[in-house]
Structure 1
Amino acid sequence: MKIRNIFKGILIGVPIGVTLIDSLGYVARVDGISMQPALNPDQDQTDYVLLNKWAVKSYQVQRGDIIALISPKDPSLNIIKRIVGVQGDIIETIGYKNHIVRIPEGHCWVEGDHTGHSMDSNNFGPVSLGLITAKATCIVWPPSRWQFLSSSLPESRLPLNLSPPTLLYSA
């Protein structure tokens, strides 16, 4: 009788668990230094984040969001980056083949927070929104790092069409 109940529990629990993970989200380990200081600020400590799949179902993402996406360079890898620009934005790149890029419709520009230590849009260009799999909403481990992740950009990485005007000439 006990084996039958265990089997019944597994038969019901597995499909429910798979459905929840597939539609709502899951916890993932963040490897590497590309998102420092927001994630993994300490080399001796690894952050685990809640990846919310529901938040990107309609591809309504905004500048500053930290997202998980399928790597355009290696589709077997998932990467975590920050959205710097959305469709229509004009971005000043850091080492990309074009110094200024207008983000095409259905795409975004992603970068790691640790400039120069990240494989991001500065290497592979604008990213299709279809590659986005989830939005990182909070750090869930270690307990000393529990926090919601903010959707913010440093002023230096704002798109040119949104940046404060700079004084080019003064008399």
Structure 2
Amino acid sequence: MAQSHGWVKRYFKAFCKGFFVAVPVAVTFLDQVACVARVEGASMQPSLNPGGSQSSDVVLLNHWKVRNFEVQRGDIVSLVSPKNPEQKIIKRVIALEGDIIRTMGHKNRYVRVPRGHIWVEGDHHGHSFDSNSFGPVSLGLLHAHATHILWPPERWQKLESVLPPERLPVQSEDES
């Protein structure tokens, strides 16, 4: 009986050691490197949730790439909503700082994206709450870069950074 009690004590001690190492490592990984998120809504159709309300894509979000605000036109990013800080939204980067963009329904027909900001839009125009509603977004609101669709299995794929030709900036910072 005493031997079995010693085994339980050793097992419990090893479990606790592993637990108190694994939890901080997992939390740090999810906070700093990558995590997964379920995408809801129609704003990114057809790239995400092409089946409408019947399905929700689950995407891999890479925190590492946006750490230094390294985003490019066409990237799909997760960001804190400028209108509701409790909510995260997922949109495509259309323009970078210094670019002049032709808007779609914004109060100004053309906007020069200010320094430290990006212009984001949903792929499903007219069904998206995006920069056309709230203007350029501060880079400080970036949360992560969506890199892959993980669920449903038949949609497993890498998300490409593609900018629709009709949404190219009128003038890019690199052209100035």
Q: Is TM (by shorter chain) over 0.5?
A: yes
Q: 1:2 offset after TM fit, Å?
A: 2.2
Q: Distance in 1 between matches of 2:31 and 2:93?
A: 23
2:19 maps to 10
Q: 1:19 offset after TM fit, Å?
A: 1.0
Residue 109 of structure 2 aligns with an amino acid whose one-letter code is H
The normalised TM-score by structure 2 is 0.90
- Deviation track 1:70-100 (CA, whole Å, cap 9, x = no partner) reads 0000000000000000011111111111111
Residue 97 of structure 1 aligns with an amino acid whose one-letter code is K
Q: Aligned with 2:94: secondary structure?
A: strand
34, 37, 56: which is aligned to 2:46? 37
2:37 maps to 28
74, 84, 94: which is aligned to 1:84? 94
Q: Distance in 2 between matches of 1:69 and 1:45?
A: 22
CA RMSD of aligned residues (A): 0.9
Q: Aligned with 1:46: secondary structure?
A: coil
1:105 maps to 115
Q: Distance in 2 between matches of 1:69 and 1:28?
A: 12
Q: 1:26 offset after TM fit, Å?
A: 0.2
* Unaligned segments of structure 2, at least 5 residues: 1-9
Residue 150 of structure 1 aligns with an amino acid whose one-letter code is E
Q: Distance in 2 between matches of 1:149 and 1:6?
A: 39
111, 118, 121: which is aligned to 2:131? 121
Residue 32 of structure 1 aligns with an amino acid whose one-letter code is G
- Alignment partner of 1:96 is 2:88: no
> If each structure's helix is expressed as a fraction of its own residues, which one has the higher value?
2
* Unaligned segments of structure 1, at least 5 residues: 163-171
- Alignment partner of 1:49 is 2:75: no
Q: Distance in 2 between matches of 1:114 and 1:3?
A: 53
2:159 maps to 149
Q: Distance in 1 between matches of 2:11 and 2:70?
A: 47
Q: Distance in 1 between matches of 2:79 and 2:86?
A: 11
- Alignment partner of 1:130 is 2:140: yes
Q: 1:3 offset after TM fit, Å?
A: 2.1
Q: Distance in 2 between matches of 1:60 and 1:137?
A: 14
